[in-house]
Amino acid sequence: MHTFVNQVARINGVINEWVWGIPMLILIISTGIWMSIRTGFFQIVRAKIVGDETFFAIFKKRHVTKTKDKKAISQFQALSTALAATIGTGNIAGVATALTIGGPGAIFWMWVSAFFGMMTNFSENVLGIYYRRKNMYGEWSGGAMYYLENGLGSKKGMKKIAKFLAILFAIFCVLASFGIGNMTQVNSIADAMHSNFGIPTIVMGIILAVIAALVVIGGIKRIGRVTEKLVPFMALAYIIGALVIFFINYRQIPYVFGSIFKDAFNVSAVGGGIGGYVIKRAATMGFKRGVFSNEAGLGSSVMVHSSSDVKEPVIQGMWGIFEVFFDTIIVCTLTAFVLLSSSSDAKSQAKVFANITTDSQTFSIAEHIDEDKEVPLIDKEYSTLVIDVDSDGNAKLYTEAPADGEYLELKAYGNSYYVKASKKEDRTEDDYIYTNIMSIKGNAAKDSNGKTVKDSNGNVVLDSVKVEQINGVSLVTYAFSQKFGDVAAKLLAIAILLFAFSTVLGWSFYGTKAIEYLFGTKSMVFYKVIFVCFIVVGATLNLSLAWSIADTLNGLMAIPNLIGVLALSGTVVKITRNYTKRKIKKDDVNLEPMLSAFPDIQKEQEEKMRAEEV
């Protein structure tokens, strides 16, 4: 069994590396660039109109937040449900990972990804509305599988291929919904609540399953009612916390933006042959986290946008633009600012390791020169740290001569522990970088009976030391704790609860619509029951492999979806030009609107539009 699991992990690793590799990222970004060019950079040229029809419309136009259609959700509910699925732990942990691996420059490339991703999302939503159908209950059913089958499939010789791609997309979506949209999210919630509040994981799983059942089984109308209240609350709370730090650290604003742009095009090391690598690394991480964050190109959020009561495909496309803007440009950028503007607590190696305990300590490493002077670890200067533990269990540390290399080496009882150190050229006192934030914890010695060994003074005797680089949620917690103290961990645990649970609600709908496409409308109730049961499973299991597989499946969804978007780009352009002539330029107000690919739905939507205008 162990061999089988390892084999699965190995195969998945190969596929995952390809799915989320450079070629796929280039395809996703290129699609956004292509759609931007073909629509005349709609996201810039029509920015004011996009704002008026989305964010500002929430406060001015009643039909945006309310709907009379009992079988559909409002435009704002569609946005909220889509954001519920996309704004998740990735907005917290994902940005930290991008900064740790790709440096501050990764944020610039994340912005680039979002800029072009806006038009990918716009195109997906336009096609989703244009090719959607109604099921046996009178509810809208749309998404990549429908514009693949009915759009791409209408082209000569493409019917069978289009149907195959549609089925493939739906299968990937269903499987991914149990992983990245369910178990892995719930696992993050259960771990966070157990660590900070002591709630048993099984109890948390049952509680979440019950709440989810009440919402999910109620269908899209109930999901929409919950997310339209939950998403604004959780997003606003997180934004306020980040803005507090933003204004407290306002002096760091020039440094933050300077480091982002400088690192994005860091060619200062070209002489050493690594300038291109640095830029490539930053760009790769920025593009990856951007795609992970807003899901533009994956075709996932189209399914919920297609359930909106909107008549004009372009209007829902505008909501897609706003979705990417809010998720990445606003939320992810604020997280990045918190990380880059909060100073780390630099300590000398001697001070850090003088009294190692079994309690986890967080710090940044500074090279100890003498008792009065501390110099940050920079460039290629590294030290070998040796930990001595005396007979009383007291840990002492001394520093050997600096040596060239890529790691700090920590030795305890003959065992070596390696930890990655940071490098940054031209660093000043006011510069901070988070790749050298470390966590150290002593491992208590055990006697033959498995009991912890203590010295005569009651101190725990250590037999080894664990040193790890802080990353993900822990790194964001550390940054928030600089201003909010120990309460930061609990606040972020609650944020993870809201962010991750909202993702579960959003993905439950994605999976429901995919299963409906595969097996019919009546199969949806069985899927919902199974989905809720998996919540309990996810709260209690170690899901490292499940997360990796789900991540792969999520990426595989992009392949058939992008084929559909690119093949139907001409249709997107026609619909956009039609709307522009009628509603924006008003060159031809009597031009027949392009509302649906199906005559019956086209007629129905035209009648509803005329009724609203009266």
Q: What is the mean pLDDT of residues 303-324?
A: 86
Q: What is the mean pLDDT of residues 276-296?
A: 59
Percent above pLDDT 70 for the chain: 63
**pLDDT above 60 (res 432):** no
Better-predicted residue by pLDDT, 97 or 161? 161
Q: What is the mean pLDDT of residues 258-285?
A: 56
* pLDDT for position 400: 34
Most confident of 83-87, 112-116, 402-406, 448-452: 112-116
| Phi and psi angles of residue 437, each rounded to the nearest 5 degrees, phi first | -85, 120
d(CA 232, CA 564) in angstroms, rounded, equals: 32
* pLDDT for position 291: 64
Whether the Cβ atoms of residue 327 and residue 83 lie closer than 8 Å to each other:
yes
Whether the Cβ atoms of residue 475 and residue 100 lie closer than 8 Å to each other:
yes
The answer to which of 7-11, 29-33, 72-76, 485-489 has the lowest mean pLDDT is 72-76
**pLDDT above 90 (res 94):** no
Q: In sequence order, what are the residues at sequence separation of 6 or more whose Cβ sits closer than 8 angstroms to the Cβ of residue 114?
A: 290, 293, 294, 296, 324, 325, 327, 328, 329
Q: Break the chain into its structural domains and give their ranges.
A: 25-342+488-609, 346-484
* pLDDT for position 166: 93
Residue 68's pLDDT band (cuts 50, 70, 90):
low
Better-predicted residue by pLDDT, 447 or 269? 447
| Phi and psi angles of residue 275, each rounded to the nearest 5 degrees, phi first | -60, -50
Q: What is the mean pLDDT of residues 37-60?
A: 86
545-601 confidence digits (pLDDT tens): 666 676 677 778 888 999 999 999 999 999 999 989 888 888 777 788 888 888 888
**pLDDT above 60 (res 198):** yes
**pLDDT above 50 (res 406):** no
d(CA 303, CA 398) in angstroms, rounded, equals: 60
Half-sphere exposure of 529 (CA within 13 A, CB side): 5
Better-predicted residue by pLDDT, 175 or 106? 175
> Which tokens hold the place of 73?
């959700």
> Which tokens hold the place of 273?
């042959």
Give, for 540, the enclosing helix (H) or strand (E): helix 524-540
Most confident of 187-191, 216-220, 259-263, 534-538: 534-538
Q: Which residue in the block uniquely carries the two structure tokens 């730090």?
A: 245
Tell me the DSSP string of 388-449.
EE-TT--EEEEE---B-SSEEEEEETTEEEEEE----TT--TT---GGGEEEEEEEEPB-TT
110-149 confidence digits (pLDDT tens): 888 889 989 999 999 999 999 988 887 788 888 899 999 9
Tell me the DSSP string of 560-581.
HHHHHHHHTHHHHHHHHHHHII
Q: What is the mean pLDDT of residues 316-341?
A: 84
451-492 confidence digits (pLDDT tens): 877 666 666 666 655 555 555 566 667 667 766 777 777 777
Q: What is the 3-state secondary structure (H, E, C) of 14-32?
A: HHHHHHCCHHHHHHHHHHH
Report the CATH fold assignment for 25-342+488-609: Amino acid/polyamine transporter I (1.20.1740)
Residue 498's pLDDT band (cuts 50, 70, 90):
confident
- pTM given for the model: 0.76
**pLDDT above 50 (res 351):** no
Terminal Cα-to-Cα distance of the chain (whole angstroms) = 68
Half-sphere exposure of 581 (CA within 13 A, CB side): 14
Better-predicted residue by pLDDT, 349 or 547? 547
| Phi and psi angles of residue 101, each rounded to the nearest 5 degrees, phi first | -90, -45
Whether the Cβ atoms of residue 465 and residue 442 lie closer than 8 Å to each other:
yes
Q: What is the mean pLDDT of residues 367-389?
A: 34
* pLDDT for position 539: 78
Q: In sequence order, what are the residues at sequence separation of 6 or more whose Cβ sits closer than 8 angstroms to the Cβ of residue 235?
A: 83, 87, 326, 331
Residue 430's pLDDT band (cuts 50, 70, 90):
very low
409-427 confidence digits (pLDDT tens): 443 333 333 333 333 333 3
> Which tokens hold the place of 14?
């190969």
Residue 401's pLDDT band (cuts 50, 70, 90):
very low
d(CA 513, CA 468) in angstroms, rounded, equals: 42
* pLDDT for position 54: 81
Describe the chain by its helix, strand, coil percentages, rounded to 5.
65, 10, 25
Better-predicted residue by pLDDT, 125 or 268? 125
d(CA 267, CA 287) in angstroms, rounded, equals: 19
* pLDDT for position 119: 93
**pLDDT above 60 (res 404):** no
User: Cα angle vertex 486, ends 480, 489, to 5°?
Assistant: 60
**pLDDT above 60 (res 31):** yes
**pLDDT above 50 (res 350):** no
